[in-house]
Amino acid sequence: MKNMNLPRLGRRSLLAGGVSAGLAATFLRPLEAAASNGPPTRFLIIHRPCGTIASRFFPAPGGTTTDFQLGPIMSPLEALKGDMVIFNDVTASRDPNWQGDSHGQGFISSLTGNRAISDGEPVNDDMQFHHITAASPSIDQLLLAGSPLLQGSPLGSIHLGAYRDSVQGGRIFPEGGAANFRPLSYKGPNMPIFPEIRPAVAAQNLFGNMVAGGADAVARQQQLQKSVLDLVAKDLTTLQKQVPSSQRPKLDAHLAAIQHLETQIGALSGHAACVPPTLEPALTSVPAGSPSGLRIDALEHTLVSKEQLNIIKVGFQCDLIRAATFTYAHGNSDIQFEPLLPNFGTMTGHHDISHATDAASVDRLAAIDQFYCARVAEFLTDLKNTPEGDGTSMLDNTLVVFFSEVALGAGHGWTKMPVTFFGGKSVGLTGGRNLMMNGRYLNDIWASVLPAFGIALPSDNKFAGNNVWKGVTGPRIGEGAVGGIFA
């Protein structure tokens, strides 16, 4: 269905059907786009904090690029093995001696490719000071601004999280709302985009302003169970009479394609296209009788993260956005996993566990990372089971990046970073591979992503890598694009 030279439907005709043009446009957008150009291409970054246990995360030794056994931490992703590319032995795009909190440097350098800078607050002699920010846009914003594949959606991108402290001015150190390890995305120098952590607000921001009457209007339309073509039936008759007879076959084919795609999308996950997900009421307090010291973040963590990822999915389906970032929690996550994992054995938060080196803490950190792999597996399986045009799935048409800002919390490791890609067939990613990177920087992977999305690299074939602090320029981080990641 790609590159068909077909006339577009006039949306003014929808007014005759008794529905607002905005609502009709929301319903028609993914159908028209898919009918004329194929499903949209999307880019999604998913982050989980505090690193992993490399010996349990990466494939067992002795395998090959295409014949490998997933480590126990990644075992929940076994059914998606053919859709993944594991980057084995990747080095973070940073120097461990850089000033500033290492989790913050991990966030910023991983996604901008450049060294963090001060956000303007006084800098003392503490190597772990927290007032740092990005010196340049993050990879998602660079792709959104420059890739022709990501152009055309009305909102562009959305940035969500599942931890209440991830917002600006969060309750945990640092005070004052420094960006540091909270946002994944940066619009530009010192322009952080803090994640929205409330599903109801995220849904309203994404869907509520797209139509007259907001999300309620879309929900009412879902209840009516009317197809888009039913809404425009009267005007379609007039339109068919107006076009020359030579053009009627094209119009008929166009309408048939839209009707077919509408049927497909309407059947996805049990809801009609472009209908905001149903959300559970938000928790307002820790229930009476809960264990002493239990925080609300832990109780809502699984549900909120699932709802946020589903909001992103439906936003992609509606073609309201083509890029998104999602973080389960920021780099100093204090999420407690005692309520989430059986027999976990402690109310200590995630970040503190990641810095401990005793055997019990190592086992607990591995269990936490396996928990996040399982949650991601659920979401990616949903994308894979959601069909789109031309026999593809949402996962095929979405390049998903799954990473952590450090390799291991203890020591803030920067080598053997846990970075995995999923999906992305529409941009040439071939899954089912465990690629040995031999210490190459994450920047070199981004240098390969840019041309896959239609963005030309500079003459030196490199992505970012600038190492500037207080006017002094250090060695550039990265060698250049890596061949063989994308077809």
pLDDT score of 454: 97
Burial of 302 from C-beta contacts in 10 A (0-12 / 13-18 / 19+): middle
Distance in angstroms (rounded) separating the CA atoms of residues 184 and 7:
40
Same domain, 167 and 233: no
pLDDT tens for 322-356 read 999 999 999 999 999 999 999 999 999 999 999 99
On whether the CB atoms of residues 374 and 76 are closer than 8 A, the answer is yes
Residue 23 confidence class, pLDDT cut points 50, 70, 90: very low
Same domain, 376 and 421: yes
Give domain status of residue 484, yes or no: no
What mean pLDDT do residues 235-260 have?
64
Cβ neighbours around 313 below 10 Å, total: 22
User: Got the DSSP string for 18-40?
Assistant: TS-HHHHHHHHHHHHHHHHH-SP
Same domain, 144 and 92: yes
- Position with higher pLDDT, 23 vs 279: 279
pLDDT score of 276: 81
User: Got the DSSP string for 352-406?
Assistant: HHHH--SHHHHHHHHHHHHHHHHHHHHHHHHHHTSB-GGG-BTTTTEEEEEE-SS
Residue 81, amino acid: K
pTM of the model: 0.83
Taking CA atoms, 67 is separated from 63, 64, 110, in Å, by: 6, 5, 28
On whether the CB atoms of residues 93 and 109 are closer than 8 A, the answer is yes
Residue with tokens 């989980």: 48
Burial of 63 from C-beta contacts in 10 A (0-12 / 13-18 / 19+): middle
Strands 419-423 and 117-118: unpaired
Same domain, 449 and 335: yes
Give domain status of residue 15, yes or no: yes
257 Cβ partners below 8 Å, 6+ apart? 1, 35
Give domain status of residue 481, yes or no: no
Whether residue 48 has pLDDT greater than 60: yes
What mean pLDDT do residues 129-142 have?
93
Assign residue 269 a region (left: φ > 0; alpha: ψ between -120 and 50; beta: otherwise): left
Whether residue 213 has pLDDT greater than 80: no
Indicate the range of 112-116, 139-143, 170-174 predicted with least confidence.
170-174
Give domain status of residue 482, yes or no: no
472 Cβ partners below 8 Å, 6+ apart? none
Average pLDDT taken over every residue of the chain: 85
Residue 253 confidence class, pLDDT cut points 50, 70, 90: low
Whether residue 234 has pLDDT greater than 90: no
Closest CA to 96 of 472, 482, 440, 467: 467
Whether residue 250 has pLDDT greater than 50: yes
Whether residue 172 has pLDDT greater than 70: no
What mean pLDDT do residues 280-289 have?
93
Whether residue 145 has pLDDT greater than 60: yes
pLDDT tens for 384-399 read 999 997 789 999 999 9
pLDDT score of 235: 55
Distance in angstroms (rounded) separating the CA atoms of residues 105 and 417:
14
pLDDT score of 462: 96
pLDDT score of 268: 38
- The percentage of the chain sitting over the pLDDT mark of 70, rounded to a whole number, equals 77
Burial of 158 from C-beta contacts in 10 A (0-12 / 13-18 / 19+): buried
Whether residue 357 has pLDDT greater than 90: yes
Same domain, 303 and 377: yes
pLDDT tens for 157-171 read 999 999 999 888 776
pLDDT tens for 4-22 read 333 333 433 333 333 344 4
Strands 398-403 and 419-423: antiparallel
Same domain, 112 and 217: no
Distance in angstroms (rounded) separating the CA atoms of residues 394 and 424:
9
On whether the CB atoms of residues 330 and 49 are closer than 8 A, the answer is yes
Whether residue 435 has pLDDT greater than 50: yes
Give domain status of residue 483, yes or no: no
Residue 264 confidence class, pLDDT cut points 50, 70, 90: very low
Whether residue 35 has pLDDT greater than 60: no
Domain of 231, in residue numbers: 1-38+203-281
Whether residue 63 has pLDDT greater than 90: yes
What mean pLDDT do residues 260-266 have?
50
Same domain, 419 and 325: yes
Q: Which residues of 363-397 are buried (b: 16+ CB within 10 A; e: fewer)?
A: ebbbbbbbbbbebbbebbbbbbebbbbeebbbbbb
Angle subtended by helix axes 248-266 and 233-242, to nearest 10: 160
Task: State whether residue 444 is helix, strand or coil.
Answer: helix
Indicate the range of 111-115, 222-226, 337-341, 364-368 predicted with least confidence.
222-226
Cβ neighbours around 36 below 10 Å, total: 18
- Position with higher pLDDT, 458 vs 120: 458
Same domain, 268 and 305: no
Distance in angstroms (rounded) separating the CA atoms of residues 57 and 416:
10
Considering 250, 281, 312, which residue would you say is the last residue of a domain? Answer: 281
Give domain status of residue 478, yes or no: no
Same domain, 319 and 346: yes
Distance in angstroms (rounded) separating the CA atoms of residues 340 and 217:
36
pLDDT score of 121: 78
Residue 31 confidence class, pLDDT cut points 50, 70, 90: low
Based on the structure, what is the number of domains in the chain?
A: 2
pLDDT score of 459: 93
Same domain, 446 and 339: yes
Same domain, 454 and 386: yes
Distance in angstroms (rounded) separating the CA atoms of residues 319 and 151:
10
Closest CA to 132 of 172, 189, 196, 171: 189
Assign residue 376 a region (left: φ > 0; alpha: ψ between -120 and 50; beta: otherwise): alpha
Element at 192 (helix H, strand E): strand 192-193
Cβ neighbours around 410 below 10 Å, total: 17
CATH number of the domain encompassing residue 188: 3.40.720.10
Q: Which token pair is 398? A: 């979405």
pLDDT score of 467: 95
What mean pLDDT do residues 89-118 have?
94
pLDDT score of 258: 54
Cβ neighbours around 289 below 10 Å, total: 5
Give domain status of residue 434, yes or no: yes
What mean pLDDT do residues 445-453 have?
98
208 DSSP 8-state letter: I
pLDDT score of 362: 98
Give domain status of residue 485, yes or no: no
Same domain, 445 and 298: yes
pLDDT score of 131: 84
Whether residue 308 has pLDDT greater than 70: yes
